[in-house]
Structure 1
């Protein structure tokens, strides 16, 4: 099987832009809660903003931007964490027919300088003074910007005030002129190598993505008769995070914002907001599982948790076989073992998500099969998908009720996925972008070559096997795909990240980082807390533990592909240092450059 297509669920839009849904919902359901605002006092309820008020605030901002000189086709930077104002400003710009240029809030001066120049940005909105200084320093001529507005100084209220004299009809006339094929977003790739490219994403691309998900998967977001509620915490500068916000607005779902993805801040927000559905990345599910495991071991219930994990996986595997038509489903013994741990383990896992989530989406990178099975058994079905910025987020997804863990599902309705002769994944469909800014589209007959390699299982589910450019060729001529080894090692509770190296080298080696919370927990369990201050690289017992993990991973590959040496790094790879993308994928070349001396030392031995 080399190509799989799925027919459309929704027809492509023939008129209008993304902002139309704001005005339509306000006209038909004016009192429907559209936004939820985080309470200012602990324990207080979240405040809601109705669809009518949301429309009024979008309209007021659009009038203010128009008064400040923003016109259709102008490109405006939004540089902020995930906040309600980001969503309001995006819809205000789309109302005018302007184009949103998202910039990650932690971007450097050089990165911002590239975006400003490459996109020909006319204005910018930032979150705080530090970002304002970054934009000013990056701009070739700060005085040429129409405006540099700052959220923490109340720029949204200021813009609304300045637009008070602008007639509403003038804004509505501009909204009516927006066409589906017009550019909505220029989203710069957060690729693992090379300079960022501006992906030109149209109103039609985002509409096709979100409307397809609403039509095919919307019933999973909440029980029948209940309004879905979603806590958006992924970066809105990332196409996946932007898709979440637009899906909520188009679907009439209650949308809340959380600016930080760190578990220490995210988990309390989930507990207080209690969403009905979750959009996340594998990192979040991994951290929740690891934390549950550590809590159980710390309380002396590690054996019980492991039995509960095994029972959840067995139950989920049996359900998966039944859905595929290859098995009868969970038998009496499997159901009994599973039920034993419902209150003691599974209910507590669901409580971490707020208690109401029964389904979730994972994107950004493939979710481990074992992790998907565990959460399914614990009562939260995680629908894994696959996509890129160039495909407006997802281009494959798990079919409702027919999840195949370890795969990224089947093509999204309206899309076709092909496996080229060299194993590369090619895609075509309504969500594929218009091309890169300033470059020819680069699409052969509508096909986008993703750079990822993969295969189909017998039922047309896609399995991602790696990146073409990540293949390592040793000096002995052996081709090694690092993904299998890296994923296996990251499964070890002590290992946070792993980078396999060996291009043009005599053998394969690895850089490992240690999860500091897991390390402290492991030392307490093993009675070695006296060495808690010692560097991981100098801890002989830790090195022996990780050597066993490396040996186990090596059993999955041939000797020529196996890891012969490794080094434990003193700190983890982070997004702030530019070593990981916002979706927690390694920037391989950046890591290799940062730790070039360490890699050289591995081979000098």
Structure 2
């Protein structure tokens, strides 16, 4: 199949912009809960924010920005990991017809300067003093940056107070002047294949993307719920606020009436903070990086090992996977579903393990989306079989977020799923993926040549390669820019090989290299927790975490994983040499994007000596 369309379930808004959803909700139901704040360790509990209260906060902030000279069409950078503050700032800017420009909170100085200068931002919201020192040199001088507002010093409160003498009428006039084709935001790509590109997204595109996301995986309304899922549903975001799908979920929550809560998203310590927040909030929907689910699995496995139940946990994993796969076969019409013996085993392990897995996510979770480089299909099946239904998919910043989503009950869990509602996916004769839908961006800011390369006749050239099966399920095989030629001219797509190596439980990341060389080689990082558990389970002692990469037993395991990927390599060009790197790639490092995707050019440049040594050997 070359093309597949999923019909739309809603259209673009007839008029107005994204902030209208909040103002309409405040008029219809002023006491509706629209957001939850707090809910972290040490808090008494989450505080409910009503529609009228949020509207008043947004209106006051908009008047304060208006008093400081922010006008219709102005670009304003937002560099913060405080999700609720980002929500307030985005809505206030949209009320004025201004354009928020998200900047990753951990962005190095060169990246922050590039984004702020490149978009012509006139103001910047910052989280803390470190970020102020990073951006401060841009204020005045040759840039148009006039204001720096530091959130942790009370900048929002001061702005609200500064606009008290202004009437609400100018804000209303600006808000009502917006149409769906008005620019809503300039969002930068992750930069996996080069410098980040500035994508211009309209109010209509973001609204269409939010509606498509909600239609694909939204939990049922409160009145339709029962059992452990009864009560008010809640959406929890444990993702960087600037991430495209996180922004869509914030918009979708407002447009479709679900309370929204933000959880910490950065650093390794953030996973435990997430767990504290999730058990307090007990959300029904979660958006988090794929590493969040991988760390949760590793933590449950470690707890089982420490309690002497390692073998039982291994059986529990197998049963959960078999249970999920049996349900998928039933959905495809290929079987009756889990048999009686499998159901009994599943119930036994549910009490022993699965209930604890669900409790790590609050105990009420109905849906979850894993961001970035998705977990392995077996891990997705485990969580789904354990009662944590997990979506994976494929998305683009240029498309305002998800292009396809694979729901947990999907009968083809190894694919990226079908197009979200209102979206058409086309795969041309060269295997290149093209997409079309109302979510499509209008172009790259200030880069007409690249815009013309990306857009053609209403279609977006994704730059990715893939295949569509007869039922419209998309499998992404890699990026066209990642494909490289070996010395004899044969082309190699590294992603399928890397994913096959990553299927080994000891492997965290794999990067296949070899442009212009006789055969490919690989750089590999280890999952230190998984190695620790495996060594203990095998009765092997005396190896410290710092020496894992040098241990011959670990080397043998990784060699087996590399050999298993051999059939995916060109004939007579399998990987015969690899290097286990001493440290893993973390999300806050330069080797990964905020969503967890590998920056190949950075890895190749940083480990050039190690790559050269592989071929010298």
Cα 1:370–1:465 change in 2 (3 A) is: same
Q: 2:435 maps to what in 1?
A: 427
Q: 1:452 maps to what in 2?
A: 464
Q: 2:18 maps to what in 1?
A: 18
1:39 CA drift (Å):
4.7
Cα 1:220–1:571 change in 2 (3 A) is: farther
1:560 alignment partner, SS class:
coil
1:212 alignment partner, SS class:
helix
1:422 CA drift (Å):
0.6
1:4 CA drift (Å):
0.5
**Deviation larger for 77-86 or 541-550:** 541-550
Question: How do 1:380-419 and structure 2 match up within 5 A?
Answer: 380-398=388-406, 402-419=410-427
1:22 alignment partner, SS class:
helix
Q: Work out the CA distance in 2 between the residues paired with 1:195 and 1:469.
A: 13
Q: 1:353 maps to what in 2?
A: 361
Cα 1:325–1:507 change in 2 (3 A) is: same
Q: 2:481 maps to what in 1?
A: 469
**Deviation larger for 103-112 or 568-577:** 568-577
Q: 2:228 maps to what in 1?
A: none
Of 551, 562, 569, the residue aligned with 1:539 is 551
* Aligned partners of 2:294 and 2:375 also within 8 Å: no
1:531 alignment partner, SS class:
coil
Q: 1:289 maps to what in 2?
A: 297
Q: Give a deviation string over 1:113-143, Cα, whole Å, max 9, x none.
A: 2112211111100000111111122457288
* Aligned partners of 1:193 and 1:590 also within 8 Å: no
**Runs (5+) with no aligned partner, structure 1:** none
**TM-score, normalising length from structure 2?**
0.93
* Aligned partners of 1:9 and 1:216 also within 8 Å: no
* Aligned partners of 2:372 and 2:595 also within 8 Å: yes
Q: Work out the CA distance in 2 between the residues paired with 1:32 and 1:326.
A: 45
Q: Give a deviation string over 1:413-434, Cα, whole Å, max 9, x none.
A: 1111000111011000111111
Q: 1:552 maps to what in 2?
A: 564
Question: How do 1:482-501 and structure 2 match up within 5 A?
Answer: 482-501=494-513
* Aligned partners of 1:18 and 1:94 also within 8 Å: yes
**Runs (5+) with no aligned partner, structure 2:** 226-230
Q: Work out the CA distance in 2 between the residues paired with 1:75 and 1:111.
A: 17
* Aligned partners of 1:4 and 1:418 also within 8 Å: yes
2:402 alignment partner, SS class:
strand
1:55 and 2:55 equivalent? yes
**Deviation larger for 89-98 or 489-498:** 489-498
Question: How do 1:46-445 and structure 2 match up within 5 A?
Answer: 46-138=46-138, 141=141, 144-220=144-220, 224=224, 226-261=231-266, 262-398=270-406, 402-440=410-448, 441-442=451-452, 443-445=455-457
Cα 1:281–1:222 change in 2 (3 A) is: farther
**Deviation larger for 74-83 or 516-525:** 516-525
Cα 1:186–1:243 change in 2 (3 A) is: same
Q: CA RMSD in A?
A: 2.1
Cα 1:495–1:368 change in 2 (3 A) is: closer
1:158 CA drift (Å):
0.4
Cα 1:350–1:390 change in 2 (3 A) is: same
* Aligned partners of 2:492 and 2:570 also within 8 Å: no
* Aligned partners of 1:109 and 1:138 also within 8 Å: no
Cα 1:235–1:534 change in 2 (3 A) is: closer
* Aligned partners of 1:73 and 1:97 also within 8 Å: yes
1:282 CA drift (Å):
2.4
**Deviation larger for 522-531 or 495-504:** 522-531
**Deviation larger for 399-408 or 487-496:** 399-408
1:202 CA drift (Å):
0.5
**Deviation larger for 381-390 or 490-499:** 490-499
Q: 1:586 maps to what in 2?
A: 598
* Aligned partners of 1:536 and 1:568 also within 8 Å: no
2:572 alignment partner, SS class:
helix
1:17 alignment partner, SS class:
coil
Q: Work out the CA distance in 1 between the residues paired with 2:446 and 2:144.
A: 22
**Deviation larger for 398-407 or 446-455:** 398-407
Q: 1:512 maps to what in 2?
A: 524
Cα 1:483–1:215 change in 2 (3 A) is: closer
1:459 alignment partner, SS class:
coil
Q: Work out the CA distance in 2 between the residues paired with 1:227 and 1:561.
A: 56
Cα 1:502–1:17 change in 2 (3 A) is: same
Q: Work out the CA distance in 2 between the residues paired with 1:557 and 1:410.
A: 28
**Deviation larger for 154-163 or 430-439:** 430-439
Q: Work out the CA distance in 1 between the residues paired with 2:221 and 2:551.
A: 47
**Deviation larger for 547-556 or 390-399:** 547-556
Q: Give a deviation string over 1:330-354, Cα, whole Å, max 9, x none.
A: 2222222222211111111111111
**Deviation larger for 438-447 or 196-205:** 438-447
Q: Work out the CA distance in 1 between the residues paired with 2:163 and 2:252.
A: 28
Q: Work out the CA distance in 1 between the residues paired with 2:41 and 2:116.
A: 38
**Deviation larger for 223-232 or 445-454:** 223-232
1:521 and 2:533 equivalent? yes
* Aligned partners of 1:34 and 1:253 also within 8 Å: yes
Cα 1:73–1:45 change in 2 (3 A) is: same
* Aligned partners of 2:492 and 2:569 also within 8 Å: no
Q: Give a deviation string over 1:283-339, Cα, whole Å, max 9, x none.
A: 222222222223223322222122222211222112112212222222222222222
* Aligned partners of 1:497 and 1:513 also within 8 Å: yes
